[in-house]
Structure 1
Amino acid sequence: MSLGLVHRKEVQKRRKRRLWAMIKFVFVVGLCGGIGYYAHEIGLSVAQEEVLIWQTRYENQAAENEKLKVELGQDKAELDQMKQLLPNEDMRNVIAVVTAKANEGVDLARMENIISGISKDATCDAEIDSKRFMVLTPVSPDEVSTASYYRGLITVSGTGSSVMNENGAPEAWFDPAKEVFISFMMPGGEKQDISGTLPLYHSVITGGSEYRFSITAGRTSFADASVQRCDL
């Protein structure tokens, strides 16, 4: 083999190696470019979805804020209206009493009729009827003790806590320093209850009249109940 032939083969080998190297380089560059482009497209798509999600959240939040503003404006308008209807604390106290009675089950129509029938200047009887009744305790010897007024129109009874003696044992009479429970019975089985420490005050409205009661501690075991009738 001549030197010229060997040299030509060597040159051809080097050319092939350079060609393959060039092909590999182009392939690698193309592959990297393709991967980069694909990654760019995925990243752009994800970013667009994120933007859409946040935009939707922003729009929903903005709509919710507008709704809350409207509701707040309505509440403020209602509050202003209530303040106009209830200009002072006395009126608010009356509404509070009516609400409490309604929650206890008192018929609203009945309260409306009672209130509408009240006159500006109430006229009360000069006579005051006073009676006493035993405030029963868990160890009282009697099972029933009542005081009736106006021919049985209103019957009053009460229960309380026993006085404790020096040995810590309960006595038969009630302790006027502790809470007592007073009941007012009307015809038809209607009943009104109050509780607290004596003296206690309560008004019963029935038959077109108001009966104002005052309950005070009497002699041992007893409570004194006075009542005055007034026109509505």
Structure 2
Amino acid sequence: MSLGRYDYERRYRRRALAGFAKVAFALGVVLAVALFAHRMGMEQVKSRDAILREEVTSLSSQKEQLQLVATQMQHAARVAEARTAEMEQRLRNEVPTGELAKLVQIVGERLKAGVDPARLAFVIRATENPRDCQQPENKRLVLATPLLKTGNKSLGFANNAITVTGEGQSSRNAQGQPESWFDPGQPVKIRITALGGKETVVSGVLPLHQSVVVERNEYRFNFTAGPRSFVDVTADRCPFP
């Protein structure tokens, strides 16, 4: 009886140990799977976190670039607005309107018709409202040249209170040789000297115009090309102011 009992208890322990081993193995498998799944999950989390960080960095960089572009566009818009306002102001200041526009149109028509611009300018300058002026003096001035330095080459106005002299460049003949008289197509230099030594110089291609004030009188000189060697000088005297 004792032997059979012993075998039964031993078989029971073996079965219990086998069952425990199975349970322990199953638990080990479950634990291993759980650990593997946990590790895989952590790896995925880390990978997803790295991807998200890269996306955040990329989005931040794109945001900075967009902000820079927006700032540049705002600056360009402000510059364009300022230039537009400047152009509008220039148009208002420079484009003639009203009576001035009509005069500009008339001048343009005269120029297209072949009127000499210098003559047109001379007529415009000579046109003004009536003033209490004396009868103009008309005289002829001989211009000095490199080959003509002698003789009477000065004019007196206002009882010789004003002296006018001038010089020009020598004209040339068909052979290109210089001649005594001046070339009216080249710039000349006119000197207007008042009593006391005050000198006013006007230079350029004829016709020329210059005003001087002497003893509360305004003398307005017009210089135009006359016969060979001569310049026609007209002097108006008007009260000043």
The answer to whether the 8 A contact 1:213-1:227 is kept is yes
- Aligned pairs for 1:34-53 (under 5 A) are 34-53=46-65
Unaligned runs of 5+ residues in structure 2 are 1-31, 105-127
**Aligned with 2:204 (options 191, 195, 211):** 195
Q: How many residues are treated as equivalent by the alignment?
A: 184
- Structure 1 distance, partners of 2:46, 2:228, is 105
**Aligned with 1:131 (options 139, 149, 155):** 139
- Structure 2 distance, partners of 1:41, 1:155, is 93
- Aligned pairs for 1:90-109 (under 5 A) are none
Structure 1 residues 122 and 203 mapped into 2: Cα distance closer, same or farther (>3 Å)? farther
Q: Partner residue of 1:142?
A: 150
> 1:41, CA displacement in angstroms?
0.9
- The question of 1:89 aligning with 2:100 is answered yes
Letter in 2 for 1:124: C
Q: Partner residue of 1:210?
A: 218
Query: If the length of structure 2 is used for normalisation, what is the TM-score?
Result: 0.55
Structure 1 residues 220 and 63 mapped into 2: Cα distance closer, same or farther (>3 Å)? closer
- Structure 2 distance, partners of 1:158, 1:193, is 9
Q: Secondary structure at the match of 2:130?
A: coil
- Aligned pairs for 1:115-194 (under 5 A) are 121-126=130-135, 128-142=136-150, 145-186=153-194, 187-194=196-203
> 1:67, CA displacement in angstroms?
7.1
Letter in 1 for 2:181: W
Query: If the length of structure 1 is used for normalisation, what is the TM-score?
Result: 0.56
Q: Secondary structure at the match of 1:46?
A: helix
- Structure 2 distance, partners of 1:194, 1:64, is 47
Structure 1 residues 216 and 58 mapped into 2: Cα distance closer, same or farther (>3 Å)? closer
Unaligned runs of 5+ residues in structure 1 are 1-18, 94-118
- Structure 1 distance, partners of 2:198, 2:158, is 16
Letter in 1 for 2:178: P
The answer to whether the 8 A contact 2:171-2:179 is kept is yes
Q: C-alpha deviations, 1:36-77, integer Å up to 9, x for none? A: 531331222221232134135415633663575478558757
CA RMSD of aligned residues (A): 4.4
- Structure 2 distance, partners of 1:144, 1:46, is 92
Q: Using CA pairs below 8 Å that are at least 6 residues apart, which structure has the higher relative contact order?
A: 1
- Structure 2 distance, partners of 1:167, 1:79, is 51
- Structure 1 distance, partners of 2:90, 2:157, is 46
> 1:206, CA displacement in angstroms?
0.5
Letter in 1 for 2:202: D
Q: Secondary structure at the match of 1:136?
A: coil
- Structure 2 distance, partners of 1:120, 1:44, is 80
Q: Identity across aligned pairs (percent)?
A: 21
Q: Secondary structure at the match of 2:53?
A: helix
Structure 1 residues 120 and 226 mapped into 2: Cα distance closer, same or farther (>3 Å)? closer
The structure with the larger Rg is 2
Letter in 2 for 1:226: T
- Structure 1 distance, partners of 2:217, 2:131, is 10
